[in-house]
């Protein structure tokens, strides 16, 4: 269990002798929050899961004033209006662009798949557009735990805010540094295998965008009618977007890029399948040499295909290029001071967009 949750539970147990630490740790609702709050850790692949967490928080925010420790009254309650809940969590930190999927299905699907049995009660009850949390998960040994859950969520958000402010502050300081070598050294330290997934993707994009932008290509329908163009890299969406396996797109060459991690190579094949085997460049959060990754991936494809050439060639031809942390660090060092400042501003811009923060 995460340290900050454990600390809160220990404090609550000291305040209330009727409940034990073990009882609280076994609460399905608290277990779910433990599952969904991984983004505060340094080495994490977890997303922030704000939509799922805010869906729970918004219900409990209104619950605590009207139904806390009032089990009989709550049993007759039909739920809070959808518009009331959505309006509330869109005002919360990073909640401006969140949708309603968490209230409607995502929380319950994940809760029943990972925390309780599939046939157990759903966490959030959808009563024709009104929402409430099932009473089974609000009480532990006849103790209402809603305020403990609220405290856990508020602490998680507080930790995220501090973490986000830390990077934003570093970026502002970087802009003011005059020494280019120091700037590169500090950015270089952010490109690491332990970097949070979204931070790595944003930094990778910013490096590649500024690396490619000075490269000319000549495009046209005939030799006599060629047009000079510079390569431009576009970010297609947020890091948790359902974009079909395309994180960046390059113009005018039409290259596709996917940011990923060395883990299960089956995911790489799935990304190729999703875009119907259009050649794909993988940007991988690893310090392994690109040749090692290429050989491992080719070996995996060979084993997966069982030697069938039609399958093997389909996947091998879908790999356009492998880019690792090593290439990103090398290309970072090649940037001049002007491009370096553009890179820092790009990181700051896309980080704030990613976090749904107001842009200055």
247 φ/ψ sector (left φ>0, alpha ψ -120 to 50, else beta): alpha
Contact between residue 304 and residue 269 where contact means Cβ atoms under 8 Å apart: yes
Q: Which residue has the higher pLDDT, 135 or 341?
A: 135
Which range, of 76-85, 187-196, 297-306, averages the lowest pLDDT? 187-196
Token pair of 329, please?
């660090």
- Residue-level pLDDT at 286: 94
pLDDT at 243 over 60: no
Q: How confident is the model at residue 360 (pLDDT cuts 50, 70, 90)?
A: very low
What pLDDT was estimated at residue 45? 45
Of the candidate ranges 111-120, 202-211, 231-240, 298-307, the one whose mean pLDDT is the lowest: 231-240
The secondary structure of 277-339, three-state, reads CCCEEEEECCCCCHHHHHHHHHHHHHHHHCCCHHHHHHHHCCEEEEECHHHHHHHHHHCCHHH
Is residue 199 a contact partner of residue 47, using CB atoms and an 8 Å limit? no
> pLDDT (tens digit, 9 = 90+) per residue, 61-76?
999 999 999 999 999 9
Query: In terms of DSSP bridges, do strands 280-284 and 319-323 run parallel, antiparallel, or are they unpaired?
Result: parallel
Mean pLDDT of 338-346: 91
How does pLDDT run across 19-76, given as a tens digit for each residue?
A: 999 999 999 999 999 999 977 765 444 457 788 999 999 999 999 999 999 999 999 9
pLDDT of residue 273: 93
The proportion of the chain whose per-residue pLDDT surpasses 70, expressed as a percent, equals: 94
- The pLDDT confidence band at residue 240, using thresholds 50, 70 and 90, is low
pLDDT confidence of 245, banded at 50, 70, 90? Answer: low
50 Cβ contact partners less than 8 Å away, ≥ 6 residues apart: 92, 93, 94, 95, 98
């Amino acid at each position: 269990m995460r340290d900050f949750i454990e600390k809160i539970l220990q404090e609550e147990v000291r305040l209330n002798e009727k409940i034990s630490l073990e009882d609280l740790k076994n609460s399905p609702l608290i277990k779910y929050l433990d599952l969904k709050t991984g983004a505060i850790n340094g080495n994490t692949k977890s997303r922030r899961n704000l939509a799922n967490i805010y869906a729970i928080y918004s219900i409990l925010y209104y619950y605590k004033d009207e139904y806390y420790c009032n089990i009989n009254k709550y049993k007759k309650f039909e739920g809070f209006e959808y518009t009331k809940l959505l309006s509330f969590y869109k005002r919360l930190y990073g909640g401006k662009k969140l949708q309603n999927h968490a209230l409607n299905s995502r929380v319950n699907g994940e809760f029943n798949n990972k925390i309780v049995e599939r046939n157990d009660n759903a966490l959030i009850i959808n009563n024709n557009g009104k929402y409430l949390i099932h009473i089974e998960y609000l009480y532990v040994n006849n103790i209402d735990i809603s305020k403990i859950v609220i405290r856990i969520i508020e602490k998680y958000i507080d930790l995220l805010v501090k973490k986000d402010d830390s990077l934003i502050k570093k970026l502002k300081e970087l802009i003011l540094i005059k020494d280019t070598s120091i700037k590169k050294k500090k950015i270089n330290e952010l490109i690491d295998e332990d970097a949070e997934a979204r931070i790595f993707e944003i930094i990778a994009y910013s490096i590649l965008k500024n690396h490619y932008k000075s490269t000319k290509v000549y495009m046209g329908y005939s030799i006599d009618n060629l047009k000079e163009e510079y390569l431009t890299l576009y970010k297609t969406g947020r890091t948790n977007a359902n974009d079909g396996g395309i994180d960046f797109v390059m113009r005018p060459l039409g290259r596709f890029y996917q940011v990923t991690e060395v883990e299960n190579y089956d995911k790489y094949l799935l990304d190729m399948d999703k875009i119907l085997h259009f050649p794909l460049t993988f940007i991988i959060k690893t310090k392994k040499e690109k040749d090692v990754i290429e050989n491992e991936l080719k070996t995996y494809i060979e084993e997966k295909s069982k030697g069938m050439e039609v399958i093997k060639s389909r996947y091998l031809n879908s790999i356009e290029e492998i880019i690792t942390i090593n290439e990103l660090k090398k290309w970072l060092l090649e940037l001049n001071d002007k491009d370096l400042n553009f890179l820092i501003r790009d990181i700051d811009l896309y980080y704030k967009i990613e976090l749904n923060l107001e842009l200055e």
